[in-house]
Structure 1
Amino acid sequence: MDSATNKPEQEKPEERLAKLLYEALKSYLEPKQIEEVERAYRFAAEAHIDQYRVSGERYICHPLSVALVLTEIRMDQAGIVAALLHDVLEDTPVTKEMLADEFGENIAELVDGVSKLSHIQFRSKAEAQAESMRKMFLAMASDLRVIMIKLADRLHNMRTLGVMKPVKQRRIADETLGIYAPLANRLGMNNIRLELEDLGFKARYPVRRRVLEEAVKRARGNRKELVSKIEIGIKTRLINAGIECRVVGREKHLYSIYRKMINRRVNFSEVFDVYAFRIITDRVDSCYRALGAVHNLYSPIPGKFKDYIALSKANGYQSLHTILKGPHGVPIEIQIRTKEMHGVAETGIAAHWLYKSTGKETQVRAHEWLRNLLDSHEESGDSMEFIENLKVDLTPKEIYLFSPKGDIIKVPMGSTAVDFAYAVHTDIGNRCVAAKVNKRVVPLNTRLKNGDAVEIITASWARPNPAWLNYVSSIKARTGIRTYLKNFKEKEAIELGEKLLEKELNVLGKTYDEISGERIIGLLEELGLPSLDALLGEIGLGNRMALLTARRLTHKEGDEGIKLESGKDRDTESPLVIRGTEGMVVNLANCCKPIPGDPIIGLFNPGKGVVVHHQGCRNVAESKKNNRNWLEVAWASKTEGQFVVEIRVEVLNQRGALAAIASAISAVDSNIENITMDDHDGHTSTDFIRLAVADRLHLSKVMRKLRALPAILKIVRVMS
């Protein structure tokens, strides 16, 4: 008989993984709970029965491996079941309803939160991934186990990435390093973050990682003696101080070394020649005593101490950080924390499952962060913008600022006074006009430093400036500004549309109140618009003609082909009044820069509203020739604010000429916005000066004052 026939059948990979899973679960789950896990495994195995991974192994090995990763943080039964089922909605005919019937609504929601959006058509793969990510974050907000399963899923995919094509490896590694590793860090899950970074680094930059790994191995041998000397010195000092603690050396991780070399533009030795140790104590007061002891042993480097115990990081991380000048002047990085803080620092939100008495505050912080993130993006319909903003928000570096009342406000590093204002309250941000930093008035775009005392000056009339979007750093500020401007533009468009429609109705001998509600509803249905505000907004933005709308509301025929510029039946005695402060849907043209006192005309720019031009502007004649819609406008008897105008001045090149021009302009209460000079022949130059004036009369005073200067040869207003 052939001896091979007596050979026991080789264990299948999925069977081996299932055994490992059950063994791990026995240490913390009840037998009945493990039975439910076994039932989920059989269901998933049946659903994936004919599916294989690129490596050639059965697909069920992947969900089993994901579940095994979660046992390391003692994930509960529901989380393990959802991990085993996490791909059935995406890759098999199983539906969410079927899952809910079989395992309950809770499990179905968890699995759905992890699944990609595969049933919706997107314009690109990037948009599909972005929308799936957004969907996952919505699910995370109600149950953090969603992200735990997703991170475990990504971790196993990264561990088995080697079988993929190089192009796909790089794409997945980029996504891991750009989103998933920072996300693990933001949630305080240091162990998973480090492995994701290492695997991502290996896949994205294999040669760089190999070179760096070899350099670390060579350098490590030369450091042993000094590391041992420093460690013995620290331990001895702490024992003598009567502090019970554990001292461990910290090995710098390759990706961390690489990022520091790139960001700081320094060579390997400057990063690696830093000796790192961690001191773990039993109580908080022992942390501060240990800090004093090591500061007495080696000199602390000024400005390098950070107290993350008193002011913890956004992800719940707590520790004391200090840098000392050790033997031969080498820098020594020290972290001091309690055992509980160390557990939270390594596992973050997972500490809730690992250590039942700790980790709750970290979960509360995570929920708060997610809620703020999703609140900030409720107004955004763009999933790609959501991902870009998410990448910014995942950066955990923060600074601490003080309000006038002494409250501590956290903002991202690089924040401006506008970011601070929005961090205090959205209404403060919307109404801010200036700021005081350490009791000194500064511009709103001033970058703030850790420890600054900031006071925001507000005004009831103020509103966000679109230019703020060019320099704010925080998602809250960016979203607050965009939301306000969007709502403000809509409101302004409705108000302008109402004025324009009322004006055209008056031309036809009707008033707004005389139009029946039935007629308005009928027109809205005919145009396919949801509300009267939508119609008025369309008129205000120039997408629909007020004259045609008025005629349809009054049952007049002959709407087709009517042109506003025909003008015969138009009431030029009741033009739209321009005050200069209309805002976003009534704008003054940049080409001719009209000012109060100029003859003006309004041109509709579809989607943007009315653009007010000087009647002599070249663009007006061109627009009339092309049958563009226009309307009569006129300046209000009292206008507000300053208006920009440009003048061209021919000047003799002589000492003090520019100073004399500036002085003359200032003398008549005007202000220079900008000046450009074009040297002609060394004797004369042409200066283009942009001024802020109140009206045409003010401009004429400025020009008279300038003509009186001996150096001025010629002065004219630039109209286009």
Structure 2
Amino acid sequence: MMRQYELVERVKRYNPSTDEALLNRAYVYAMMAHGNQKRASGDLFFGHPLEVAAILTDLKLDDATIAAAVLHDTVEDTQATLEEITKSFGPQIGALVDGLTKIKRLDLVSRRAAQGENFRKLLLAVADDVRVLLVKLADRLHNMRTLQFMPPDKRHRIAEETLDIYAPLAGRMGIQEIREELEDLSFHTLDPEAYEAISRHLNEVTAKSEKLVEEIEQTLTAKLKAQGINAEVSGRQKRPYSIWRKMERKSVSFEQLSDIFGFRVIVDTVDECYRALGVVHTSWPMIPGRYKDYISTPKQNDYRSLHTTVIGPSRQRVELQIRTVAMEEVAEYGIAAHALYKEGVNDNSRLAVESRAYQWLRRTIDLLAEGDNPEEFLEHTKLELFHDQVFCFTPKARLIALPRGATPIDFAYAVHTDVGNTAVGCKINGRMSPLLTELQNGDEVEIVRAEGQTPPAAWESLVVTGKARASIRRATRAAVRQQYTGLGTQILERAFERANRAYSHEKLKGALPRLARGSTEDVLAAVGRGEMFSGDVVRAVYPDYKEDRRAGLADQSAAIERPGGSSETVTDGIPIRGLNDDLPVHFAPNGGAVPGDRIVGILTPGEGVTIYPIQSASLADFDNEPDRWIDVRWDLEAEPQRYPARIKLQSINEPGSLAQITQVIADHEGNIDNVTMKRRTQDFTDVTIDLGVWDLKHLNAIIAELRAKRTVSRVDRVTG
């Protein structure tokens, strides 16, 4: 276990003016608080917070963070209180320990929904101070290093969660060393055989390639020095999980990988970065498509570097990263490298950091306020954690960073939610393009908008960013609610009219307490969804009203006419157009309905109105539910459209019979949606056809001609 003086010495290496007294007090306080507590390994528990603090000294963090790391388990696991911590060590350390304690109290190894909620709380806890996240990542890293002492089932869950959330989160914060170690430790636990196999291969390749790596380092150093560039060149073997992920992504074997090693070229200035790149490209042929400039367009975690791949000595593919010393520090330590987390920062540095490295985390936390449920939030955030980036531009040259595979729809929502919701088209590099085009690095994207547009629900499955999915889902829900509100308004207006009572939103608002709803919109949507019956609303507004069920049903006239009964002309029913109507309308699943049919609407909770022909036998199922019957009528003033119908035929079983049937439908401009066939006997086949027709006259014309065909023995319309 680390001694008191060893911790102080580790901090003094990078911060000679460290507050030794503070660190000593934190050490002694935590040691006394934890006492003889033991970990699963049998070691003293106090060794764990010390190791967490040691990891953070590698990131060269400030005294407050180191002290908070030493104290981070005291409030949760000992008799210590937050008030004591704050009084003894100050409000800054108290706030850090408080944030870590809130995270500690969460069972992060849990079911998906609970995991999503816990992840939300994790990000909320770091919203005010990202140092909470840095301590949490160090805590997770040490727990992963000692994972072998946990039960097997718990080991697997912790490793899976680490690979899903913590490793990519470390990557998003730019802390590559911690990210890579978390990935390898998780990989070793989740698939030990694959880990061992790749590690064995890597060791063999390293032994064989040791001289080649030295040769490339020496050759490149000499070439740069000849051009007056003093550079530090170092070769680096890729990590097992990185190799495994590349093998999986490209579906190749280990032997087929040609870029096991990467080389870093560290220079003094940005100018020397580009000069070094020129030396590399004039010395060896570059591989097209493998050059990336993250200096002019940094990643969202502030990573800056030039990337290129060349065919180097011995025809070996060589990956190169060229950067300055300052860029190297950010590449290794990420957000922890910024002066904000060192001693003596000023407000300007805080603003500079928050404008770049903290941007993604801020945006993700903003999503918490937009109403996603925990599972959706976790899904959306993981989408962004795992994707590489492409960089695109608005017509005004604003840089938009997106996950690889993103479309103009994702781009539109990245610009602003309103832009995404009203998007109807796009121009990519000045040319009209489909909204589902995959964007490439450097594309200039202009979104074409139309006010009043609502994003189609299908977009949700086509976009790749969490923000786009969340926004589309919210817009879809809002549109559906608006539909149900409109339907509920029409239902209530007719219900009050049948009751000979006046209807107004003001009267409805006065009845809200009796209806247990918070707003008139809630009532209207509930009626539209079928969760609240119109008669109950009438009685809530007019308590003295007594509904005559029989009279109410008679008033609905043809809308509830039973087969064989009398009918009256429907004049005031809710207008129904079809599937493109602004009401949540569906047609009977077994046969549909077409203009010319007498129709009735059946309200289904959560689904809207289902339209049945009045002769449909399925209506008998709703005889005992009169509140679900809705007065409807056709509204054919909109653009012509086809409506669903179903016919059933018996055809002679001979070659060409199906072709004759489909030809009749085609000649009449009917549209076949589905065909099912079942052999009835050796000579006859039952054929069921779902088709789209303009109206009842159109359908009857098709049926009449089919009956005239020699190969068809019988044709009937199916009405359920």
TM-score range, shorter chain: 0.7 to 0.9
Which position in structure 2 is the counterpart of 1:420?
Answer: 411
1:244 aligned to 230, 242, 256, which one? 230
Which position in structure 2 is the counterpart of 1:593?
Answer: 592
| Aligned: 1:489 with 2:480 | yes
Q: Report SS of the residue matched to 2:320.
A: strand
Which position in structure 2 is the counterpart of 1:321?
Answer: 307
More deviation in 267-276 or 368-377? 267-276
- The answer as to whether partners of 1:494 and 1:533 remain within 8 angstroms in 2 is yes
- The answer as to whether partners of 2:176 and 2:333 remain within 8 angstroms in 1 is yes
| Aligned: 1:401 with 2:401 | no
Counterpart mapping for 1:147-162 below 5 A:
147-162=133-148
Which position in structure 1 is the counterpart of 2:563?
Answer: none
- The answer as to whether partners of 2:533 and 2:627 remain within 8 angstroms in 1 is no
**Structure 1 position 120, deviation (Å):** 8.6
Counterpart mapping for 1:173-192 below 5 A:
173-192=159-178
Q: Evaluate the alpha carbon distance shift between residue 280 and residue 391 of structure 1 in structure 2; reply closer, same or farther with a 3 A threshold.
A: same
Return 5+ residue gaps in structure 2 as ranges.
558-569
Q: Evaluate the alpha carbon distance shift between residue 32 and residue 402 of structure 1 in structure 2; reply closer, same or farther with a 3 A threshold.
A: closer
Count of aligned pairs: 696
**Structure 1 position 344, deviation (Å):** 0.8
Q: Quick one: distance in 2 between partners of 1:352 and 1:195?
A: 22
| Aligned: 1:551 with 2:530 | no
**Structure 1 position 682, deviation (Å):** 11
Counterpart mapping for 1:51-130 below 5 A:
51-92=37-78, 94=80, 96=82, 99-116=85-102, 125-130=111-116
Q: Evaluate the alpha carbon distance shift between residue 211 and residue 553 of structure 1 in structure 2; reply closer, same or farther with a 3 A threshold.
A: same
- The answer as to whether partners of 2:491 and 2:528 remain within 8 angstroms in 1 is yes
Q: Quick one: distance in 2 between partners of 1:114 and 1:183?
A: 16
Q: Quick one: distance in 2 between partners of 1:337 and 1:106?
A: 35
- Overall identity of the aligned pairs, in %: 36
1:216 aligned to 198, 202, 208, which one? 202
Q: Quick one: distance in 2 between partners of 1:228 and 1:121?
A: 48
Which position in structure 1 is the counterpart of 2:282?
Answer: 296
Q: 2:423 is matched by which residue type in structure 1? A: C
Q: Report SS of the residue matched to 1:52.
A: coil
Q: 1:555 is matched by which residue type in structure 2? A: P
Q: Quick one: distance in 2 between partners of 1:435 and 1:55?
A: 59
Q: 1:412 is matched by which residue type in structure 2? A: P
Q: 1:630 is matched by which residue type in structure 2? A: W
Q: 1:384 is matched by which residue type in structure 2? A: E
More deviation in 345-354 or 83-92? 83-92
Q: 2:120 is matched by which residue type in structure 1? A: R
Q: Deviations over 1:13-39 (max 9, x none)?
A: 3xx443222222344668784333433
- The answer as to whether partners of 1:579 and 1:640 remain within 8 angstroms in 2 is no
Q: Evaluate the alpha carbon distance shift between residue 333 and residue 121 of structure 1 in structure 2; reply closer, same or farther with a 3 A threshold.
A: closer
Q: Quick one: distance in 2 between partners of 1:31 and 1:288?
A: 37
2:184 aligned to 198, 202, 208, which one? 198
- The answer as to whether partners of 1:664 and 1:706 remain within 8 angstroms in 2 is no
More deviation in 248-257 or 617-626? 617-626
**Structure 1 position 713, deviation (Å):** 8.7
Q: Deviations over 1:488-533 (max 9, x none)?
A: 222332333233222212222221249757xx54x43344322333
Q: Quick one: distance in 2 between partners of 1:122 and 1:402?
A: 38
Q: 1:574 is matched by which residue type in structure 2? A: D
| Aligned: 1:638 with 2:619 | no
Q: Deviations over 1:373-432 (max 9, x none)?
A: 233343345323322222211124022335456654332112233223322332232223
Q: Evaluate the alpha carbon distance shift between residue 450 and residue 26 of structure 1 in structure 2; reply closer, same or farther with a 3 A threshold.
A: closer
**Structure 1 position 154, deviation (Å):** 0.6
- The answer as to whether partners of 1:653 and 1:685 remain within 8 angstroms in 2 is no
Which position in structure 2 is the counterpart of 1:386?
Answer: 377
- The answer as to whether partners of 1:542 and 1:606 remain within 8 angstroms in 2 is yes
More deviation in 655-664 or 242-251? 655-664
- The answer as to whether partners of 1:431 and 1:462 remain within 8 angstroms in 2 is yes
**Structure 1 position 41, deviation (Å):** 3.7
Return 5+ residue gaps in structure 1 as ranges.
1-12
Q: Report SS of the residue matched to 1:574.
A: coil
Counterpart mapping for 1:620-639 below 5 A:
620-624=619-623, 629-636=628-635, 638-639=637-638
Q: Quick one: distance in 2 between partners of 1:662 and 1:62?
A: 77
- The answer as to whether partners of 2:109 and 2:157 remain within 8 angstroms in 1 is no
- The answer as to whether partners of 1:305 and 1:321 remain within 8 angstroms in 2 is yes
Q: 1:642 is matched by which residue type in structure 2? A: Q
Q: Evaluate the alpha carbon distance shift between residue 535 and residue 232 of structure 1 in structure 2; reply closer, same or farther with a 3 A threshold.
A: same
Q: Evaluate the alpha carbon distance shift between residue 695 and residue 58 of structure 1 in structure 2; reply closer, same or farther with a 3 A threshold.
A: same
| Aligned: 1:431 with 2:422 | yes
Q: Quick one: distance in 2 between partners of 1:139 and 1:338?
A: 34
Q: 1:161 is matched by which residue type in structure 2? A: L
- The answer as to whether partners of 1:593 and 1:614 remain within 8 angstroms in 2 is yes
| Aligned: 1:262 with 2:260 | no
| Aligned: 1:308 with 2:297 | no
Which position in structure 2 is the counterpart of 1:512?
Answer: 503
Which position in structure 2 is the counterpart of 1:542?
Answer: 530
Q: Evaluate the alpha carbon distance shift between residue 275 and residue 117 of structure 1 in structure 2; reply closer, same or farther with a 3 A threshold.
A: closer
1:578 aligned to 561, 576, 579, which one? 576
**Taking structure 2 as the reference length, what is the TM-score of the superposition?**
0.85
Q: 1:531 is matched by which residue type in structure 2? A: S
Q: Deviations over 1:64-89 (max 9, x none)?
A: 22122212222223322322232234
Q: Report SS of the residue matched to 2:631.
A: strand
